[in-house]
Amino acid sequence: MMRMKKDQNTLAHINLNAVIKSIVHLYELDEEVKELVGNRNLAIQFLVRNGPSGLLKFEDGKCIFMDGRHKNNVLLFFTSPIHFNKMVDGKSNPIPLKGFIKLGFLTKEFNTITKKLEYYLRPTRDLLENENYAKINTILTFYTAFNALCQVANTDEVGKYTAKRLSDGNALATIGTFEKLYIEVKNHTLKAHIGEPEKVHARMEFVNYETASGMLNDTIDAYSCIGSKKLKLSGYIPLLEDLNALLYQTSMYLKEDT
């Protein structure tokens, strides 16, 4: 099968608005990450020329991510989407424009946090046999994949073609009663939100973490899960079918290059 060529701008949007954004969830799930941040109040602005921008903020024991440019005390600039993607791969460094006295945190503690994120998002079969690891991997992969799906729909040429077919509405994805995320489709633009909307037009429900883990890590078949009712689809099914097509394309972006 021919390997899909990754659009560097789309990949940069995924790396910032899905991968780095998932540090928000990692912060809640891993005590070591909280300890690494400590009582620091940091607002790290990522700014990519001709690409995405976003703010990762640690404040008062919480971690949040905001799309776009915001008030910050650390500003990291990247000359292009390729430059940013190389930084995410550990092959390049950002250009710091603000917050020089905080560079020690970025090169040490924050670097450790990103390596821990990679550890959870790059599972092996042996690691997935550990129940606690598998749960954290599933949660992070769940939010990363659906956030990345939106970036593909909004920036990739094939993804935008698929998005043009979508009617306005909300598609809810859940893992049991624990994890909830919905994709809002408005004017053929997609945006992911944590939680449940007032009105749901389509639902994708994983009955438990084990099912979500198998589906998201391609170790179990979707049709068998539907047949055994471990994956429940309801509402406007054509919306879910198009989102599934985008999710497949997204998986090509998230796979590690070899």
Q: What share of the chain is helix, strand, coil (3-state, %, to 5)?
A: 50, 25, 30
Considering all CA atoms of the chain, what is the largest pairwise distance in Å, rounded to the nearest integer?
57
- pLDDT tens, the chain, 258 aa long: 345 678 999 999 999 999 999 999 999 999 999 999 999 999 999 999 999 999 999 999 999 999 999 999 999 999 999 999 999 998 999 999 999 888 888 889 999 999 999 999 999 889 988 999 999 999 999 999 999 999 999 999 999 999 999 999 999 999 998 999 999 999 999 999 999 999 999 999 999 988 888 888 777 877 788 888 889 999 999 999 999 899 889 988 988 764
* Domain boundaries 125-254, CATH class: alpha beta
pTM over 0.75: yes
Q: Which residue has the tokens 């749960």?
A: 135
Q: CA 130 to CA 11: how far, in whole Å?
A: 30
| CATH number for the domain formed by residue range(s) 8-121 | 3.30.1050.10
Burial class (CB in 10 A: 0-12, 13-18, 19+), 105: buried
Enumerate the CATH 3.30.1050.10 domain ranges in the chain, comma separated: 8-121, 125-254
* The length of the chain, given as a count of residues: 258
